[in-house]
Amino acid sequence: MREVGRKFRHLGFAAVVALATSGASAQPREFSTGQRNLACGSPASIGDGWPTATPESVGLDGPRLCGIAARLVATNANVHAVVIVRRGKLVFEQYFPGYDEPWGLGGGRRDFDATTKHDMRSVSKSVISLLVGIAIDRDLIKNADEPVVKFFPDYSAVKSPGWDNITLRHLLTMSSGIQWDENRAWKDPANDEPHLGSDDDPFRYVLSKPIATPPDTMWNYNGGGTELLGNILERVSGKSLDEFAREALFAPLGISDWEWMKYRNEHIASAAGLRLRPRDAAKIGQLVLNKGARAGRQIVSAKWVEQSITPRFQAIGYFGGLFYYGQQWWMGRTLTGDKDVKWIAAVGLGGQRIFIVPELDLVVVTTSGLYSSPRQGQAALDILANFIIPSVRDNNAR
């Protein structure tokens, strides 16, 4: 999904529970509004629709959250943003300079603030899931159990035997059984993922892959399936993926500054190309927390959201531990003191995370630049377990 192998490798999820490290130390920075400098996570007012509040006003311990920056410095974690939303209000945000590899721009040290878009990488997959749900709500797609090949009649001559049994839901849950391997060096000819960006016709490549196991029997991480879903959305809507996403999801959420990048072959990178401001990524999380609704409007059905965040397969390895996978969404739990807290997450290479904690009415977003580190995701889990969840001071969050 990338122009350069190391830069865009997705299966760096393999040891995400180890501690994130980088040569660039994270240093807290202040965000200037022109009137005052906001330190220690006070949200800036930038007119993006977020109501803001203090942590204390929504039952969080502000001083505890103020320890996040020191922790990131002490662990040399290359985290670029931490955004916290509670009870539908933005209550904390901090940004840090550090090494990054923005899509198509090369690696280097960069600054970040509330207005900076960040590569979200495979968080894009979770957004594709929401868009599929919207297409079903609009009767553009009958349901998720429709056969994939129905949408690709022009590829009937190249599909491998067994494809007739694969449904959209199998692609969503990464249980299609397609022979697919992304867990290799980028230049390894057996790595399937580079073909998504380098082949003139990546859909032909995916549809011609043999079926290794019966569908719905084994989970295997597969960005090729997400690419098919993105193209299906284009076919049923009559719009490009970015046009459909703008109209159906981003505009209703008040997200106006975003990009969905293309591969070198000019196909939109459905599985990895989304770039968002962290505050706008938090709107995606809040939408899921609110069961598909925003400001009284049902953007995607509650039924679809529930289906998407219901565990369907154990997913071992991408976080470095035992987690669960739904329809392009991850599920896990964090033990903090005597609290065993379940969460839902959108996960992207390098430390991009949207955590949704329904029982605490909480959304947390982190962005980071550890694209090739086997320890890329620990910083997000560390501050969730040791700072954010322990900062909750009420027992009746929702």
What is the CATH number for 356?
3.40.710
The answer to whether residues 16 and 384 touch, using CB atoms and an 8 Å cutoff, is no
Residue 376 belongs to a domain: yes
**Is 14 part of any domain?**
yes
Q: Alpha-carbon distance 179 to 191, whole Å? A: 11
Strands 313-316, 274-276: pairing is unpaired
Residue 325 lies in a domain: yes
Contacting residues for 105 by C-beta, under 8 A, at least 6 apart: none
Contact 168, 216 (CB under 8 A): no
The answer to whether residue 28 sits within a structural domain is yes
* Residue 168 belongs to some domain of the structure: no
225 lies in some domain: no
CA of 156: how far to CAs of 204, 207, 209, in Å? 10, 9, 13
What is the per-residue DSSP string for 213-279?
S-TTS-----HHHHHHHHHHHHHHHTS-HHHHHIIIIITTTT--S-EE-B-TTS-B-TTT-EEE-HH
Length of the chain, please? Answer: 398
pLDDT in 10s for each residue of the chain, 398 residues: 333 333 333 333 323 332 232 333 333 434 333 333 445 999 988 999 999 999 999 999 999 999 999 999 999 899 999 999 999 999 999 999 999 999 999 999 999 999 999 999 999 999 999 999 999 999 999 999 999 999 999 999 999 899 999 999 999 999 999 999 998 888 898 899 999 999 999 999 999 999 999 999 999 999 999 999 999 999 999 999 999 999 999 999 999 999 999 999 999 999 999 999 999 999 999 999 999 999 999 999 999 999 999 999 999 755 556 799 999 999 999 998 888 999 999 999 999 999 999 999 999 999 999 888 877 788 999 999 999 999 999 865 55
User: Computed from CA positions of residues 352, 295, 38, 117, in that sequence, does the dihedral angle turn out positive or negative?
Assistant: positive
Sign of dihedral through CA atoms 115, 62, 366, 230? negative
CA distance 229 to 227: 5
Q: Is residue 310 one of the residues assigned to a domain?
A: yes
Whether 87 contacts 58, CB under 8 Å: yes
Q: How many domains does the chain have?
A: 1
**Residue 195 counted as domain residue:** no
What b/e string do you get for 16-29 counting C-beta neighbours within 10 Å, with b at 16 or more? beebbbbebebebb
In angstroms, the CA 306 to CA 291 distance is: 7
Domain that holds residue 283: 6-114+278-391
